[in-house]
Structures are given as structure tokens and as C-alpha cells.
Amino acid sequence: MTYKPGSVAIVGAAETTELGKLPDISQLQLHADAALNAMADCGLRPADIDGIATAREVPTELAHYLGIVPKWVDGTSVGGCSFMIHVRHACAAIEAGLCNTVLITHGESGRSQIGRPVQGVGPSTQEGQFQMPYGPLGPPTMFTIPVLRYLKTYGVGIEKVANVGVVQRKWAGFHPRASFRDPITIDDVLNSRMIAWPFRLLMCCLVTDGGGALILTKADRASSFPTKPVYIQGIGESVETSLISQMEDFTSSRAFRVAGRTAFENAGITHKDVDHLMIYDAFAHLPIYGLEDLGFCGRGEAGDFMWDGNTAPGATGSNALPLNTNGGGLSYMHSGMYGMYALQESVRQMRGTSPAQVEGAELSVCHGVGGMFAASGTVVMSSQPA
Amino acid sequence: MSDYQKWIPVPTPETQHFWDGCREGRLLLQRCGDTGRAYFPPRPFSPYTGSRNVSVFEASGRGALYSYVINHRPAKGFEAPYAIAIVQLPEGVRMMTNIVECEQTPEALELDMPLEVCFEKIDDDISLPLWRPAGG
């Protein structure tokens, strides 16, 4: 048995009231602010929610803080794609009748670090023994490690990676809430501060505060809500390794391939059906790996595909594929677990309310990464009932 | 060496043999008894078949530079810029490392260049496997 396409819908969706640098609000309250906004979006109160899912914060803390009495709980926390995976688990739970109305929340004080749970690596963990002694300094020095091998394998130049940020900045220009909106050039990217060669500042995501929340229920209940329902057509998930040094193929993510294929098969769609695409971009190489691992481009071809303008605003023709239309983690916002913001933009596109609305878009694929190529979740959404 | 500022690994029962080997200047890997394939990091069973029929063997100590970044931000115990690298071993496994006795520049660090293992003694228990250009 697989999930029946279109049987669950997103009826409530919202980001926090503000995004950016928010030193006057704690991480827990960012979750709550987003949750309250999503409930207001669809006219619900905490008493109407009977399922809750969140990542990093334990769902227990959030349920109690919000005054929710859940019959179903999911605390899957595998990084920034946890929310895509929550959508999948929620669909299964709703379909199985374990609960009726699920709230998925994200909140993160990534920039201001207010009310953040303590995080860290122990010296006897696998990472502590086999990676940390060599001086990695967070994601900019680890998520990026496979890229030189990719570039050499396919004879791709670093300017193709730099271009990802340039194209996405064009999309960000449409969004009043995006952190960075001014156009940039390839030269701007290639002359920005060196972070971890070959990655420069404008190839890395920004770090901000914010949150988002989704509310899901059975599709046949969706018409009783004031919002335009967004139907879940297919979903996939996978994990590979929490050690970047041990990923099977440095030019491709196994978790991407498994999650993506599962979601496409579940939805019964082909690549030609996709009107809009989000690929979680903590760093500029992610959309390139994602386009190839999801099957939109052949191996080594995604950089050229973007270079030719196919994912940019105004692209026309059969290759046009609007990608990361909020500007992505490189320009819109990135709190640390960005997946929720990619989901929010897919929902806006399917509702027809994005400031960068893709005309006539009916099918959106939203693809997330967790950790550093460690995990993945893919959600296929439709504006049309099954 | 009390002035050692970098991260010091702490072995677990499953990895103790690896660190004992490093202390003796030997790079120890494990092999799956069913498939004959080597694996890393250490664990008392095969990640390929789930079998507990595994053995420890000494690696050749040869390798090649597989991929890397050069970190430019300050990090405790390191002098930036420094490379965080992945070495490919002919035995079929990869590991993270630093490349020593070599300039930390894109020009000096050529992908696929041959490397050989060496060990830096951190304290009486831990010697860290590092890699340097082969035949230096």
C-alpha cells in the first residue's frame, strides 16, 4: 500500500510574522508565532489540532506550549528536510485515521541564538573520532567537500556554481520579505570573501531567524476551510550518512535519488508535468546536485541548464523550469533548517499567491536536504484535486 | 602535548583497535568475511551483509587526494587557510584528513595526487592519521 495521491491537503500555511534578525523572540516562540499564524490562516484554534510534528525542539515541549492535546506525535529530526518528512508521516497518519488535523512547525533563532537548545558533537561519536580532529568548521567546510570531485568528474567550472546565486537573486527581487533582493553578477560572487575554497560568501546561505508552519487534513475536509487547498500528490524520504566523508558518491546524493524517485512514482508524474520546483540550497551546489539526482538533468549538465537561463524568471519554452522562486536559502532566508521555507513557497505557488507567481502553475515539487547530504525528503504538491 | 589545541578523539570499544593501531604507526581497516570488501569507520560487523564475520588488516598506507576544501576562517588549533581533505585508499575506503608537508593551496593540492599515511602523536593514547604527498 502506498499513499493515495491527493488524499491529504495543506489547508493552513504561514511563516513567522517577521523574518530576519529577531533578537526579541525566542526559538520556541518562533515556532508558536508561525503555528498561530497558520491556525489563523485556516480558522483553527489549538483545540482543533490533534497531531503535531516538529524537529530539533521536541514535540512535547511545543504541544504543551501551544496547549495542544495530540493523539499523534512525530519528532523526526534529521536536519532541514525534517519538515518534508513530517508531511509524509502526517499523510500516512491522516490516511490511516490516527488523527485528523496535523500541525507541523519550525522555528529557529539561527542568527540571534535566543532560546536555542544546546547542540554539539561528542568526542567519542563517529564524527568526533573521524572528522572533527581535522578541523571542519560547520557546514561551509563540510557540505562543500564533495564539490571539487564533482567539478573534476564532469569538467564543470566554478562559475556554473556561482551562477546559481545570481539566478536565485533575480527571484528574490520579487519577494518583499527576502533578506537580499539587489541583483548580483557572477563577478560579484567570484569576488566575494573566500570562505572555504572553492566556496565564497555568495555561494553560501545566509543565517537568519524565523519560522513556518503547515496544517494538513483529509482532502475531503479541505473545502470547509477558507483557504485554497494544496493537495499532496506524492512524497518520498531517505537518509544516507551523517558523515560527509562516507557518502557513497561525491557527485550525487543517494538520499536525493531515493526520496525523489519515491515521490515521483507515488505521485505518478513525469518531469514534464512539473511547473515549479524548489530545491533546498544551503550552498550553491545543491540545486545542481538536486536537478541531476531528481532526474531533471543528465549527469554534469545541471550547471549548463541553469547557465542557459531555464530556471530564471521569464524563461520560456519546453525547458523552462522555475526553480527556487523565493530566492532560496542563498537570498530569501536560512535559519538553519530551511526546508519549511521551501515548502511555504511551494504552497504559495499552488495557491497562486507568491510574489513571484509562476503563471498557471499546477504542480510543484519541493525537495529538501537534511544535514550534509545526510537526509532527504521530497513533496509533490498540486493545486488541483485528484 | 598539553599545548595541543585541536579536537582529540575518544575511542569507543568498537574503535579501540583502530586507535591502538595508529599509536603503533599502523593504519588498520576491517574486511567483510563474506564479500572480501574493506570498510571504514570501524564496527564489529559488515555494513555490506550484516555478518559478524569480519577481520582486521593493515592498510597499504597509500592513497590519493579525492576531494577537499581550504578553510579560510579561524579555527582553534589550526592556522588558516588549511585544507580539510578526503583521501581515497586503494583498499576501497575513504577518510577525512589533513594534508601535511604540503602547501595549502589549490595549486599544490591537485586532485588524485598520490598520498601516504603518517601519524601525529597527540598524547600517549592517540596518534592521529594524517596524509602527505607520497615519496616526499
For the stretch B65-91, pLDDT in tens is: 999 999 999 999 999 999 999 999 999
Angle at B79 between CA B76 and CA B80, to 5 degrees: 100
Q: Is the pLDDT of residue A186 over 80?
A: yes
Q: Is the pLDDT of residue A348 over 60?
A: yes
- Helix ranges (H only) for chain B are 16-23
CA pair distance B136, B132, nearest whole angstrom: 8
Q: Where are the domains of chain A?
A: 8-115+206-382
CATH-assigned architecture of domain A8-115+206-382: 3-Layer(aba) Sandwich (3.40)
B47: confidence class by pLDDT, cuts 50, 70, 90: very high
Minimal CA–CA distance to A143: which of A82, A83, A186, A204?
A204
Instruction: For chain A, say whether B92 makes contact (Cβ under 8 Å).
Output: no
Tens-digit pLDDT profile for residues A311-332: 999 999 999 999 999 999 999 9
Q: Which residues of chain A have a CB within 8 Å of the CB of B82?
A: 135
Tens-digit pLDDT profile for residues A23-52: 999 999 999 999 999 999 999 999 999 999
Distances (CA, A) of A209 to A57, A118, A331, A338, B49: 15, 17, 14, 10, 44
CA distance B105 to chain A (A): 9
| Structure confidence at residue A204 (pLDDT) | 97
Instruction: For chain A, say whether B66 makes contact (Cβ under 8 Å).
Output: yes
| Structure confidence at residue A118 (pLDDT) | 85
B136: confidence class by pLDDT, cuts 50, 70, 90: low
Instruction: For chain A, say whether B52 makes contact (Cβ under 8 Å).
Output: no
Minimal CA–CA distance to B59: which of B22, B27, B88?
B27
Q: What mean pLDDT is predicted for residues A205-230? A: 97
Q: Which of B16, B40, B65, B71 to mutate to test the interface with A (most CBs of A within 10 A)?
A: B71
Q: Which residues of chain B have a CB within 8 Å of the CB of A144?
A: 69
| Structure confidence at residue B135 (pLDDT) | 85
Q: What size, in residues, is chain B? A: 136
Cell of A4: 493515495
Tell me the average pLDDT of chain B: 96
| Structure confidence at residue A315 (pLDDT) | 96
Listed in sequence order, the residues at least 6 apart from A155 whose beta carbon sits closer than 8 Å to its beta carbon are A300
DSSP B17: H
Instruction: Look at residue B71 and give its three-state secondary structure.
Output: strand
CA pair distance A344, A10, nearest whole angstrom: 10
3-state helix, strand, coil in chain B (%, to 5): 5, 35, 60
Are B10 and A128 inside 8 Å of each other by CB? yes
ipTM over 0.90: yes
Instruction: For chain A, say whether B53 makes contact (Cβ under 8 Å).
Output: no
- Within 13 A of B22's CA, how many CA atoms are on the CB side? 25
Q: What size, in residues, is chain A? A: 386
DSSP B78: -
Tens-digit pLDDT profile for residues A111-123: 999 999 888 899 9
Are B84 and A149 inside 8 Å of each other by CB? no
Q: Which residues of chain B have a CB within 8 Å of the CB of A194?
A: 72, 81
- Closest by Cβ to B67, choosing from A122, A149, A195: A149
Q: Is the pLDDT of residue B117 over 50?
A: yes
| Structure confidence at residue B1 (pLDDT) | 47
Q: Is the pLDDT of residue B3 over 90?
A: no
CA distance A245 to chain B (A): 6
CA distance B64 to chain A (A): 12
Are A245 and B96 inside 8 Å of each other by CB? yes
Q: Which residues of chain B have a CB within 8 Å of the CB of A130?
A: 9, 41, 95-96
Are B78 and A124 inside 8 Å of each other by CB? no
Q: Is the pLDDT of residue B2 over 70?
A: no
CA pair distance A259, A146, nearest whole angstrom: 20
Q: Are strands B28-32 and A51-54 parallel, antiparallel or unpaired?
A: unpaired
Instruction: Look at residue B114 and give its three-state secondary structure.
Output: strand
CA pair distance A194, A143, nearest whole angstrom: 15
Are B69 and A250 inside 8 Å of each other by CB? no
| Structure confidence at residue A1 (pLDDT) | 74
The answer to whether the CB of A291 falls within 8 A of the CB of A365 is no
Instruction: For chain A, say whether B98 makes contact (Cβ under 8 Å).
Output: yes
Q: Cβ of A241: how many Cβ atoms within 10 Å?
A: 17
- Within 13 A of A368's CA, how many CA atoms are on the CB side? 35
Minimal CA–CA distance to A169: which of A302, A50, A62, A325?
A325
| Structure confidence at residue B82 (pLDDT) | 98
CA pair distance A327, A199, nearest whole angstrom: 19
| Structure confidence at residue A160 (pLDDT) | 98
Chains A, B: CB contacts within 8 A come to 110
Tell me the average pLDDT of chain A: 97
Tens-digit pLDDT profile for residues A236-260: 999 999 999 999 999 999 999 999 9
Q: Which residues of chain B have a CB within 8 Å of the CB of A199?
A: 69
Q: What mean pLDDT is predicted for residues A277-298? A: 98
